[in-house]
């Protein structure tokens, strides 16, 4: 039996309403939404780091960057523009930054924030090795943000893209969206799973070693995996050690670098070391054709 006119009109109205509602929600979420991060005076930190140490012209770059950091933190967050510069001429591929990051953020097996890629060129005997540390690029146009179905990840005013571990549902869509492979998922592994048992056949430390249950302090909170809480099951990524910045400490990868190859600072500060380096060197980014506009630059 065919539709009568009344049914046809109802069908048209329902279909039209359905299409309009679909279009409306898509447009709504493309209009900029209220900021989720605190801004203004609440974000200012008066750090006393190195106050008693007079600056010297020949001081270690780490000290200079630490002073830059204190100066940046004395301004509101929305006035900071965090960037990282990696001098590949100095990187020796020791992976100290990788392991320092693992230790600082208590990363479990299968989660890595800053691997170091080895690039080999030429044929023996004219072989050349170079190294590319690859933290999160903290893109100005992060492709990982719009794909999140629950708004669990966003870009802060200071440029760092963050993840709300209490909101992330672990769908791993953001992992596929990142062209740099910078996001990894915490699948709940432990280093000491299946650790050797004692002579009596019982594992000395239970299902895994007690130190593995110590909380990490990412984003300024205590995250306890012991109760299978977040960040277990969540996406995780480099966040420029935001919790360390709040305390006046440089990101761990910067501090542990034995070659002083990694620089970090506020590119909105004309006196900052990173600002001078960006002006003095030809820098490049990874995968520029993707249009993501990374805030991590490389000197080669």
Partner 1 sequence: MSSTGDTAIDSGHARTTADRLRLTLWILWATCLVLGIVGLAQRVVQGHLPAGYGSYVPWGLWVAIYFHGVGIAGGAFLLGAGAFVLGLEGFDRPASLRTVIVLAMAAILPAFTGVWLDLGRMERAPYIFMSPAFTSMMAFNAWMYGAFVIIAAACWVLSCRQRSGWLRPLLCLAILFSVLFPSQSGAFFGVIEAKGLWHSALLPMLFLTSAITAGAAVLLVIMALPGVTDESPERRAAAVSLLRRITLIGLIVYFVFEFAEFSITLWNPDVHAPAIELILWGPYWWVFWIVHLLLGGAVPLVLLLVRRQTAWTIAALLVAITFISARLNVLVPGQAVGEIQGLQEAFQHERLRYIYHATLMEYLVGLFLLAFGVAVFFVGQRISASVGRRTQHEG
Chain residues in the site for partner 1 (CB under 8 A): 1-3, 6-7, 10-11, 13-15, 18-19, 22, 25-26, 28-30, 98, 109-112, 115-119, 132, 134, 143, 146-151, 167-173, 175-181, 183-189, 228, 230, 232-235, 286-287, 290
Write down the least CB distance from residue 18 to partner 1, Å. Answer: 5
Write down the least CB distance from residue 240 to partner 1, Å. Answer: 19
Sheet holding 296-299, edge to edge: 262-266, 82-87, 296-299, 283-284
Write down the least CB distance from residue 187 to partner 1, Å. Answer: 5
Residue 118: strand pairing partners: 131
Burial class (CB in 10 A: 0-12, 13-18, 19+), 123: exposed
Closest CB to partner 1 among 168 and 272? Answer: 168
Return the structure tokens found at 44: 């200012």
Write down the least CB distance from residue 100 to partner 1, Å. Answer: 13
Q: SS3 of 167, please?
A: coil
Write down the least CB distance from residue 78 to partner 1, Å. Answer: 22
How far, in Å, CA of 103 to CA of 224, rounded? 15
Contact 258, 94 (CB under 8 A): yes
Closest CB to partner 1 among 19 and 44? Answer: 19
Write down the least CB distance from residue 1 to partner 1, Å. Answer: 6
Closest CB to partner 1 among 89 and 167? Answer: 167
Contact 242, 216 (CB under 8 A): no
Q: SS3 of 38, please?
A: coil
Closest CA to 216 of 242, 180, 179: 242
Closest CB to partner 1 among 19 and 214? Answer: 19
Residue 262: strand pairing partners: 86
Exposure pattern of 57-70 as b/e (b: 16+ CB <10 Å)? eeeeeeebbbbbbb
Instruction: Give the distance between the most distant pair of CA atoms in the chain.
Output: 91
Closest CB to partner 1 among 116 and 274? Answer: 116
Write down the least CB distance from residue 215 to partner 1, Å. Answer: 18
Distances (CA, A) of 170 to 68, 84, 225, 275: 36, 28, 15, 37
Closest CB to partner 1 among 102 and 273? Answer: 102
Closest CB to partner 1 among 74 and 191? Answer: 191
Return the structure tokens found at 91: 């990187």
């Amino acid at each position: 039996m065919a539709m009568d006119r009344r049914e046809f009109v109802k069908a048209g109205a329902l279909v039209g309403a359905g299409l309009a509602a679909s279009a409306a929600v898509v447009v709504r979420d493309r209009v900029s939404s209220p900021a989720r991060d605190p801004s203004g005076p609440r974000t200012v930190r008066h750090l006393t780091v190195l106050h008693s140490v007079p600056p010297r012209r020949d001081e270690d770059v780490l000290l200079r960057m630490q002073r830059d950091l204190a100066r940046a933190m004395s301004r509101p967050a929305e006035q900071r523009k965090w960037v990282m510069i990696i001098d590949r001429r100095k990187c020796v591929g020791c992976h100290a930054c990788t392991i320092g990051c693992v230790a600082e953020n208590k990363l479990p097996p299968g989660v890595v924030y800053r691997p170091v890629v080895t690039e080999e060129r030429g044929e023996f005997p004219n072989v050349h090795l170079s190294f590319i540390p690859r933290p999160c690029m903290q893109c100005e146009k992060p492709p990982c943000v719009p794909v999140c179905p629950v708004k669990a990840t966003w870009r802060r005013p200071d440029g760092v893209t963050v993840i709300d571990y209490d909101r992330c549902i672990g769908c791993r869509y953001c992992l596929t969206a990142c062209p740099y492979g910078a996001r990894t998922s915490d699948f709940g592994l432990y280093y000491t799973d299946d650790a050797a048992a004692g002579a009596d056949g019982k594992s000395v430390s239970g299902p895994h070693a007690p130190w593995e249950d110590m909380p990490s302090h990412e984003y300024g909170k205590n995250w306890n995996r012991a109760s299978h809480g977040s960040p277990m099951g969540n996406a995780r990524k480099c966040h420029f050690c935001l919790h360390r910045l709040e305390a006046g400490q440089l990101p761990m990868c910067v501090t542990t670098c034995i070659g002083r190859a990694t620089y970090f600072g506020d590119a909105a500060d004309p006196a900052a070391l990173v600002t001078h380096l960006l002006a003095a060197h030809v820098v490049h980014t990874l995968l520029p054709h993707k249009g993501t506009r990374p805030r991590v630059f490389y000197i080669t």
